[in-house]
Structure formats: structure tokens, C-alpha cells
Amino acid sequence: MGRITDALKKVADERVQRIQKKPETQYVIKKVENTSIDDHIVSFHDPSSPVGEQYKIIRTNLQSIKAARDSRIFLITSSINGEGKTITSINLTMSMAHDLNNKSILLIDADLRKGRVAKYLGINQSPGLSDLLQDKGNMESVLISPGVDNLSIMPAGKVPRNPAELLSSKKMTSILASLKAKFDYVFIDSPPVIPVTDPCILGSMVDGVILVIQAGRTQRSIVKHTEQRLAQAHAKTIGCIMTNIEYHLPQYLYRYVNKYEGYDSYYQEEKKELVNVA
């Protein structure tokens, strides 16, 4: 039994080392010139790449959900900071905008504390959602085109003193109702669940929540606690997207490993309609 235990321990240690080690061979996208959009937005720079294809798979699943339930508004969040939530939000909405059916897509940066959507897309942070919620702007002034057909962006705006109160206001509910009638799909990039209450507030207003989870970092107990908090807020989690996967899983799972400057993404479809954590 000692040898078996030692062998299992060795395998576990090697797995941890592989997860922590930065890949020597990385996937390099074809950079589009004369654009300020960040290189990590693969769905813009190289949408036909293997990585871009994974976002198309998720896009197809979301289209199926919409067809079955007329779901249009989705919240994208994570348990803690640094799990790849915003990069995933932008890549997914870019892929949705590239749909041949020419659906109108909106991405709202609802992280009124540390919004980064504008930074990744090379656009102005303000005016944005916070300004709209404080009656400091109108709908036309806060909707921006990032230069991608069918895609509109609503930046976070100036950092307010009371983000949670603004997001829970009747004004926010009214804004979402108006946008749902205007766009085919609305995606909301929110702060992580554990540090603040904002995503739980927004989760009760949307048709479904997509949870981004970083493998090798976010503990299962934290993920379970996140799902419990969302459920208590009457938010429905429709699936998960895992990032930072570098090892292979059983073949009955759909799997893809993308190694791109330390930003590894994984897509897997099992029990939930969108994606599911193993």
C-alpha cells in the first residue's frame, strides 16, 4: 500500500506542477492591425481559430436556450477575482455578434467598482451605466459600437459611491426591460459573487447566470457557496465555463485546451444546458 500511496502522491504533485507551470508552447492568434482591441479577444482577432470555435459552441447552446424559453438577458460572473470573467464575456459576445443570422448583441459592463470592458476594447469608460442610473446621460449616449457589426457596448461609467444601491434600483429594472425589447441578446459582465452583493442583485433580474470558474485555483467549496448565494437571490445558474485547464479529461466530455499567454480556456458540455464543471 505504501508504494501505491507514493505513486498517487507523485502523480498529484506532477499535476499541480503542470497547472502552475506556464506553457512553453503557446497558441498565437493572428493580430488584426490598426485596432485597440486587446490581443486576448480571440473572437475578434482570429474567430476561425480553434479557440474561437469553442465560443461558437457556447453560442449555439445559448441559442438553443433562447429558442426554448425566449431567454435574452444573461449575467456572466465568477466566485472571486481573476477567473477570466471579463475576457470570457467579451469573447462570447463577439462570437454572438458574428452569427450569420445578424442578431443584435449588447454587452453591459455592470462592474461599477472595477469595470474593465472598456479597457479591453479600447473605448471610453464614461459615459456608461452608472451615469445612466444617476440620470446623467441618456440611452443613446451610453451605447457604443466597438467596430464590430451587430455588437453594442455599454461601459461601466464613472465609479459611483453607491453601486449596489444603483443596481438594485427601479431604474435598473426599467433599463433592462427597455434593452430586452431592443436587442436580441443582452449580456451583463458583473463583479464576482463572493466579495460583493452586486451579482446577486442583478441575478434576480436576468434570465440566466453563467458562472466562470478557474480550475486549479477556485475551490469546490467556494463554487458551491457561490451557487448557494445566487440561488438565495432567486438567480438561476444555467451553466459554467472553466478556465485554466491544461490536462486531459475522459473522452466522454467535450474538451478543448487553449494555451494563450497564460489565459487557458476550457469548454465542456455535460449535465447543464450551457457548460458544467466536472
Domains of the chain: 60-266 (3.40.50.300)
Give the global pTM: 0.77
Q: Give 120's Cβ-side CA count (13 Å radius).
A: 26
**Better-scored residue on pLDDT, 142 or 42:** 142
Averaged over 167-178, what is the pLDDT? 96
pLDDT digits (tens, 9 = 90+) for 47-84: 877 778 888 988 998 888 877 788 899 999 999 998 88
pLDDT at residue 26 in the model: 45
Angle at which helices 85-97 and 50-69 pack, to 10 degrees?
Answer: 70
Peptide bond preceding 23 in cis form (omega within 30 of 0): no
pLDDT at residue 13 in the model: 67
pLDDT at residue 69 in the model: 81
pLDDT at residue 9 in the model: 65
pLDDT at residue 216 in the model: 79
Residue at 225: amino acid letter: H
Distance (Å, rounded) from C-alpha 3 to C-alpha 255? 32
Question: Could you tell me if 275 and 54 are in contact, meaning their C-beta atoms sit under 8 angstroms apart?
Answer: no
The region of weakest confidence among 2-6, 76-80, 235-239, 243-247 is: 243-247
Highest mean pLDDT of the ranges 2-16, 112-126, 213-227: 112-126
Q: Give 58's Cβ-side CA count (13 Å radius).
A: 32
CB atoms under 10 Å from CB of 100, counted, come to 5
Helix (H) or strand (E) holding 153: strand 151-154
pLDDT digits (tens, 9 = 90+) for 252-276: 333 333 333 333 333 333 334 454 3
**Better-scored residue on pLDDT, 264 or 109:** 109
pLDDT at residue 16 in the model: 56
Altogether, the residues listed in the chain come to a count of 278
Residue 110 has pLDDT above 50, yes or no: yes
pLDDT digits (tens, 9 = 90+) for 80-98: 998 889 999 999 999 999 9
Distance (Å, rounded) from C-alpha 247 to C-alpha 71? 33
pLDDT at residue 217 in the model: 81
pLDDT at residue 276 in the model: 37
Residue at 236: amino acid letter: K
